[in-house]
């Protein structure tokens, strides 16, 4: 490989927000940037290049446009294929033949892109072989057919993309349904692969104001309905801006149920902080830290006098594109348009549910905005060490709507801990603060150029240091937390005081129950310990993926977290499986711990090399059913709710082509096991589980047991 030329700019990188892992950085061994014509880019040039990224750890597949800034930088390119002499050592005589069709009418889809993943398509490189081999891509012909040749022994997965359609895989029975692994064996010819694709749905309508006039340039956000912890959750999906007629069109929607809203959070930054950022009166580190906090509340730090900000007292209100404009009346008071759900509700719970099928366009989903007289809410934050400056504060609806996480307003404190929300409509709210220990500002990133697209951030700055084998530990600094209800009427609310308290932590040690070889320090240090809120709510972004780490002494510590009930979740190791988290005789993996003010110490995380599992075969109409989905959930219905976002006793598994299935690494206990044609997004809803339990098989699973349970596919009505 050639060496990159020296430069003061960092090579472009892509970071997954779901797992915070960098999975594309150039120069770095094993990475490659390709243009839309499939040609490696010898030098970074100004322009936009499409990149497809598959993040295995987070289960995210994303297409992005990598916008390259105009600077000169030689790139270190990975080899895109092993030399022929090395590849020939692995048999590659398998052939897979398939067809891509429209799921609604069975017609073939021409011009679809079929990307091959898995060891059958891209074998794991042997020692000394180059990495970074790209996934093979094929295009369907006029009959929707594709042929994959030269496949190796191993597993094959397909991802099919086509404009106007939801990304698909083989053997799916609904959009974004369970995909099936294809096993390729010794020169085998597989000829019956079928991929169904569903057309995107569309929702459109008009946004009007209180006078019935069209609202121009409003951002309309769709929220997809799903279930977590036994209740409805809303996940942001496609968004669009209204045109000069007030009309919007939400395209590229996965067929499902949605709620539609015009989102208008009020973002306020002390004007003095904006001046500090713009004038550079303080040091670079201070400005970088301030910029980080301002960015955390969604403000670009735009000064007044620009189209993106207006002055409201001692604060600058950010006019985020798409936010309904806050207006000041002649008497000095303010009118604000709050977030509004279709047709005209400020509460998600009272919003209309809009269901769309594949290829359907639902028109006439109109939203009417109503202005409210806004008042000023102000107060003081008190911290244990006396310093409460530059802390983000959120104002959220009360009671907090578990279905969706929305801010009514956000701001940051001034250097003395004082805060103010200049424009707040009347209502019941919660003031919430979470201050997470932050790493020191890396000055190499202080002037980084960042371009965001979807869930990817592409940045350019100074060259990064090599990635450490052992990630940094959890900082000793406390996570500070405060929350208080407030009632806002028609007059200003002053003198609100909140005291920050240290969030409770969880700590303990690791034990191994088994005879296998213990993992080394580096492997243990990369194990993620997560505190999962039992109510299905989300922790702040920096806590949600990794809450704790294991150190070189086999001890673990978590960040402090806001008070609440939490499950302990731990990702497994290659040869060891998470067995439980024992604290005062309870397993915190199954029974949540109520963390209020005191730390929980002495928790024992146990791993085993003798995991329990359920396996078997599924039949339908006397024949093996290779297209079923197997569901497992506990017999005890009291734990069907408040299970957190990742319940370990509720699983799904797709049958293999021969009808066999495997549910690995299940905790011991009593389960219902059922095979169905396909799951829906709400299968974990307690009402759905009640129906499933009527036809499911009941299985008792002992510790370390490999249980066999054959099933018959059932139809759920």
Q: Tell me what the mean pLDDT of segment 275-297 comes to.
A: 76
pLDDT of residue 144: 98
State pLDDT tens for residues 612-628: 999 999 999 889 999 89
Ranges of H-type helices in 357-446: 443-446
Query: Is the per-residue pLDDT at 675 higher than 50?
Result: yes
- The answer to whether residues 433 and 301 belong to one domain is yes
- Residue 334 domain-assigned (yes or no): no
Q: Tell me what the mean pLDDT of segment 527-536 comes to.
A: 93
- Residue 599 domain-assigned (yes or no): yes
pLDDT of residue 3: 39
Boundary residue ending a domain (608, 635, 650): 608
Query: Is the per-residue pLDDT at 539 higher than 90?
Result: no
- The answer to whether residues 353 and 258 belong to one domain is yes
Q: Tell me what the mean pLDDT of segment 452-479 comes to.
A: 59
Q: Tell me what the mean pLDDT of segment 120-134 comes to.
A: 69
Reported confidence tier of residue 168, pLDDT bands at 50, 70, 90: very high
Mean per-residue pLDDT of the chain:
82
- Residue 308 domain-assigned (yes or no): yes
Query: Is the per-residue pLDDT at 45 higher than 80?
Result: no
State pLDDT tens for residues 186-203: 788 999 899 999 999 999
Reported confidence tier of residue 277, pLDDT bands at 50, 70, 90: confident
User: Other C-beta atoms within 10 Å of 529: how many?
Assistant: 26
82-86, 331-335, 658-662: the lowest-pLDDT one: 82-86
CA pair distance 118, 105, nearest whole angstrom: 30
- Residue 653 domain-assigned (yes or no): yes
Greater model confidence, 621 or 305? 621
- The answer to whether residues 219 and 132 belong to one domain is no
Number of domains in the chain: 5
546's CB contacts (< 8 A; 6+ apart) are 20, 528, 529, 530
pLDDT of residue 556: 96
Greater model confidence, 30 or 220? 220
What string of H, E and C letters represents the secondary structure of 199-233? ECEEEEEEEECCCCCECCCCEEEEEEEEEECCEEE
Q: Tell me what the mean pLDDT of segment 246-254 comes to.
A: 97
- The answer to whether residues 143 and 219 belong to one domain is no
Query: Is the per-residue pLDDT at 90 higher than 70?
Result: no
Greater model confidence, 469 or 96? 96
Cβ-contact 138, 111 below 8 angstroms:
no
Reported confidence tier of residue 282, pLDDT bands at 50, 70, 90: low
Greater model confidence, 18 or 151? 151
Burial status of residue 127 (CB atoms within 10 A of its CB: 0-12, 13-18, 19 or more): exposed
Domain housing 508:
503-608
Query: Is the per-residue pLDDT at 9 higher than 50?
Result: no
Greater model confidence, 64 or 242? 242
pLDDT of residue 321: 76
- The answer to whether residues 230 and 282 belong to one domain is no
pLDDT of residue 1: 40
Write out the two tokens for 8: 């003061």
- Produce one character per residue of 505-524: b if its CB has 16 or more CB atoms within 10 Å, e if not: bbbbebebebeeeebeeebb
């Amino acid at each position: 490989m050639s060496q990159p030329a020296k430069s003061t700019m960092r090579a472009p990188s892509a970071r997954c927000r779901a797992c915070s892992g960098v999975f594309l950085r150039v120069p770095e061994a094993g990475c490659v940037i390709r243009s839309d014509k499939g040609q490696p880019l010898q030098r970074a040039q100004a322009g936009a290049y499409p990149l497809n990224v598959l993040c295995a750890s987070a289960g995210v597949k994303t297409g992005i446009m990598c916008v390259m800034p105009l600077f000169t930088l030689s790139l270190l390119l990975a080899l895109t294929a092993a030399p022929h002499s090395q590849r020939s050592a692995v048999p590659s005589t398998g052939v897979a033949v398939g067809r891509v069709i429209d799921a609604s009418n069975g017609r073939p889809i021409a011009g679809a892109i079929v990307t091959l993943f898995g060891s059958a398509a891209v074998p794991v490189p042997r020692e000394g072989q180059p990495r970074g081999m790209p996934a093979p891509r094929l295009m369907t012909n006029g009959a929707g057919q594709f042929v994959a040749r030269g496949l190796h022994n191993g597993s094959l997965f397909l991802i099919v993309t086509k404009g106007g359609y939801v990304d698909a895989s083989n053997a799916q029975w609904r959009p974004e349904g369970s995909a099936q692994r294809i096993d390729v064996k010794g020169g085998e010819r597989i000829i019956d692969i079928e991929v169904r694709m569903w057309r995107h749905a569309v929702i459109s309508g008009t946004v009007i104001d209180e006078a019935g006039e069209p609202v121009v340039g409003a951002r309309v956000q769709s929220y997809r309905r799903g279930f977590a912890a036994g209740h409805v959750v809303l996940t942001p999906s496609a968004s669009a801006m209204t045109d000069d007629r007030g009309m919007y069109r939400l395209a590229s929607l996965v067929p499902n149920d949605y709620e539609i809203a015009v989102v208008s959070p009020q973002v306020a930054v002390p004007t003095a902080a904006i001046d500090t950022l713009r004038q550079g009166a303080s040091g670079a580190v201070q400005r970088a830290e301030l910029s980080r906090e301002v960015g955390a509340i969604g403000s670009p730090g735009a000064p007044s006098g620009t189209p993106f900000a207006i002055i409201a007292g001692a604060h600058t209100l950010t006019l985020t594109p798409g936010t309904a404009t806050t207006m000041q009346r002649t008497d000095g008071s303010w009118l604000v348009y709050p977030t509004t759900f279709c047709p005209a509700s400020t509460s998600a719970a009272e919003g209309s549910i809009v269901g769309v099928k594949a290829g359907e366009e639902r028109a006439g989903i109109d939203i009417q905005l109503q202005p409210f007289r806004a008042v000023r809410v102000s107060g003081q934050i008190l911290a244990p060490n006396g310093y409460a400056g530059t802390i983000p504060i959120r104002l959220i609806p009360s009671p907090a709507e578990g279905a969706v996480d929305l801010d009514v307003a956000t701001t940051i404190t001034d250097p003395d801990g004082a805060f103010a929300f200049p424009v707040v409509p009347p209502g019941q709210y919660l003031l919430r603060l979470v201050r997470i220990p932050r790493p020191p500002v890396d000055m190499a990133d202080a002037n980084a150029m960042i371009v965001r697209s979807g869930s990817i951030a592409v940045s350019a700055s100074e060259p990064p240091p090599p990635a450490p084998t052992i990630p940094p530990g959890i900082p000793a600094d406390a996570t500070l937390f405060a929350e208080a209800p407030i009632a806002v009427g028609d007059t200003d609310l002053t003198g609100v005081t909140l005291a920050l308290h240290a969030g409770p932590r969880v700590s303990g040690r690791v034990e191994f129950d088994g005879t296998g070889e213990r993992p080394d320090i580096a492997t243990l240090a990369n194990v993620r310990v997560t505190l999962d809120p039992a109510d299905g709510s989300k922790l702040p972004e920096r806590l949600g993926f990794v809450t704790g780490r294991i150190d070189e002494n086999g001890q673990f510590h978590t960040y402090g977290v806001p008070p609440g009930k939490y499950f302990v979740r731990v990702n497994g190791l290659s040869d060891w499986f998470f067995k439980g988290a024992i604290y005062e005789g309870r397993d915190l993996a199954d029974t949540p711990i109520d963390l209020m003010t005191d730390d929980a110490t002495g928790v024992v995380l146990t791993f085993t090399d003798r995991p329990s599992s359920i396996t078997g075969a599924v039949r339908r109409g006397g024949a093996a059913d290779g297209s079923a989905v197997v569901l497992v959930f506990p017999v005890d219905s009291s734990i069907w709710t408040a299970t957190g976002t990742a319940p370990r006793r509720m699983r799904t598994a797709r049958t293999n082509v021969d009808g066999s299935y495997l549910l690995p690494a299940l905790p011991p206990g009593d389960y219902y096991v059922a095979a169905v044609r396909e799951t829906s997004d709400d299968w974990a809803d307690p009402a759905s589980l009640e129906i499933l339990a009527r036809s499911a098989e009941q299985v008792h699973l002992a510790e370390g047991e490999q249980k066999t349970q054959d099933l018959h596919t059932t139809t759920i009505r």
